[in-house]
């Protein structure tokens, strides 16, 4: 088993169960386009991937429509949705154990940078991370770009020293594009089939398995 000094972690669906706020904000945005979604589970596809991708992939929006939908989404999310969120049970213990084991923890998320910082401060776990890298609409729109940004900002040039941990295929594909190994976590919103198709290096069921794998 390889050892990884650096652990990159996704935020939504990996550190926190952010589905309620994301789903309700996606409903709000879709309603602005005359689309009513009565079953919230139908919108779980919005948890994890870049928002534009979800509006285009699942509701066939044009890029321009997707940009407008993201603006509507943020109208609600940045005021209310961001707080409709909870850390996964045991995640703080895992982060603390990883730090005791000498791991350097960093966040690599498709959530906008300022919202990622806000969420981590809200839950009181910002101090567990050496660096937080989020989306920037101008320069970092994909997971691959976010991961590269985190590496560049921290002078990390050896991909073999890093593993990306996430709950959706975008985490796995972004890691592969940069040459990182990856872990798909099944306690989030992805499936084993999704991770296998994306080429995850490892797949774990829960935080106990993740800890045994990496620590």
Task: Find tokens 């994890």 and name the residue.
Answer: 48
**Boundary (domain end) residue, out of 65, 83, 101:** 83
Number of domains making up the chain: 2
pLDDT of residue 1: 77
Within a domain: 97: yes
Task: Find tokens 């729109």 and name the residue.
Answer: 141
Whether 49 shows a pLDDT value over 90: the answer reads: no
Give the H or E element holding residue 204: strand 202-204
Q: What is the CATH number of the domain that holds 138?
A: 3.40.50.1000
Question: Max CA-CA distance within the chain?
Answer: 51
| 102 and 79 housed in the same domain | no
Within a domain: 1: no
pLDDT in tens, 131-181: 999 999 888 989 999 999 999 999 999 999 999 999 999 999 999 999 999
Report yes or no: 73 and 29 within 8 Å, Cβ to Cβ: yes
Active-site pick, 10, 17, 167, 181 = 10
**Boundary (domain end) residue, out of 83, 108, 136:** 83
Instruction: List the structure tokens of 156.
Output: 């990390």
Within a domain: 164: yes
Residues 95-103: what's their mean pLDDT?
98
Domain that holds residue 161: 6-17+85-214
pLDDT of residue 18: 94
Q: What is the CATH number of the domain that holds 59?
A: 1.10.150.240
**CA–CA gap between residue 8 and residue 175 (Å, rounded):** 10
Residue 10 bears catalytic tag: yes
| 99 and 153 housed in the same domain | yes
Q: Nearest-CA neighbor of 185 among 7, 42, 52? A: 7
| 163 and 192 housed in the same domain | yes
| 102 and 132 housed in the same domain | yes
Q: pTM value?
A: 0.94
Report yes or no: 7 and 214 within 8 Å, Cβ to Cβ: yes
**58-70 burial string, b = 16+ CB within 10 Å, else e?**
ebebeeeebebbb
């Amino acid at each position: 088993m390889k050892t990884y000094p650096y652990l990159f972690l996704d935020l939504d669906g990996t550190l926190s169960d952010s589905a309620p706020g994301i789903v309700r904000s996606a409903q709000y945005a879709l309603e602005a386009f005359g689309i009513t979604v009565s079953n919230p589970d139908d919108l779980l596809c919005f948890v994890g991937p870049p928002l534009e991708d979800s509006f285009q992939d699942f509701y066939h929006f044009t890029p321009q429509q997707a940009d407008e939908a993201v603006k509507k989404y943020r109208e609600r999310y940045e005021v209310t949705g961001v707080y409709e969120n909870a850390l996964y049970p045991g995640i703080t213990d895992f982060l603390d154990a990883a730090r005791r084991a000498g791991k350097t923890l960093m966040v690599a998320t498709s959530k906008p940078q300022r919202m990622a910082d806000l969420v981590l401060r809200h839950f009181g776990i910002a101090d567990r991370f050496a660096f937080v890298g989020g989306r920037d609409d101008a320069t970092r729109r994909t997971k691959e770009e976010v991961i590269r940004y985190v590496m560049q900002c921290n002078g990390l040039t050896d991909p073999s020293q890093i593993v990306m941990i996430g709950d959706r295929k975008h985490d796995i594909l972004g890691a592969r594009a940069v040459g990182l190994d990856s872990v798909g976590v099944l306690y989030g919103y992805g499936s084993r089939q999704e991770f296998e198709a994306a080429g995850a290096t490892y797949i774990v069921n829960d935080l106990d398995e993740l800890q045994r794998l990496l620590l």
